[in-house]
Amino acid sequence: MLVPETRVAGLTQHLDAIVSAALPAAPEAEVHAAELHGGDGAWRGVNPVDRVAVFDAFLDALPQFECTVSYASINKPALMARNYGTPGTPHLLALQFLCEKVEAFLARQADPMRQRALLIADETHEHERFAIEQLKRQQQGRGGEVPGIQTAHLVDNIHFVRSQDSRAVQLADVVAYVLNRGSRLPASHPSRLAYNRFEASIDKVRAEYRHTWP
């Protein structure tokens, strides 16, 4: 999810207000999409209708604050089934493809102030160093897990933060959860209509993306 730097503070305040209204007893609660969907964690005991309303409110914030969605994903079983000599690490392949899609989007922007992006991600101690080293290679034009384009419009490196400290990261988690779960929900599932609406909200701001590979 890309957010213009001038809109980040307003987005944070807006999402804070949504959580405060939904959880007046715990206004600082983190929004984990899986917990929000399942009624777990801070959302235990919250009416499903109210939880769906939080999904809608978070996703409605995307166009309101000029957010753009870009994504890439890897099908791990299919990757291994291809029997490549060196199949690559799934999460690093996804990161490489995502960075390349973001690079293409940034390069097309007419406003020079919107031709650069700083990457912020949810902390993941297991993979952080590998991700940082890979982006360095991509910025130098040396590719990632596989040969690829130079990511000249991505500045500095990936900055990892605790998701509980960033409403924007929490919104990105909601977007990723909807895209992932929605792609697997059958038409007969009770949540299908709600996810159709969630996905439609994301489609309005979707820019560069790559279908699940391979």
**What does the pLDDT look like over 125-174, one tens digit per residue?**
888 999 999 999 999 999 999 999 999 999 999 999 999 999 999 999 99
Q: Is the dihedral of CA 113, 164, 202, 177 positive or negative?
A: positive
**Angle CA 199–204–210, to nearest 5:** 70
| Residue of higher predicted confidence among 119 and 81 | 119
pLDDT value of residue 136:
97
**Residue 210, pLDDT above cutoff 70:** yes
pTM of the model as a whole: 0.95
Contacts of 210 (CB under 8 A, 6+ apart): 71, 72, 73, 97, 98, 101
- 10-24, 25-39, 69-83: range with lowest mean pLDDT: 69-83
Arithmetic mean of pLDDT over the chain? 95
Looking at the structure of the chain, the number of domains it has is: 1
Which domain range does residue 120 map to? 1-214
Three-state DSSP class for 176? Answer: helix
Q: Is the dihedral of CA 146, 151, 154, 155 positive or negative?
A: positive
How far is Cα 125 from Cα 139, in angstroms, rounded to an integer?
Answer: 22
Average pLDDT over residues 164-185: 97
**What does the pLDDT look like over 63-106, one tens digit per residue?**
999 999 999 999 988 888 886 666 678 999 999 999 999 999 99
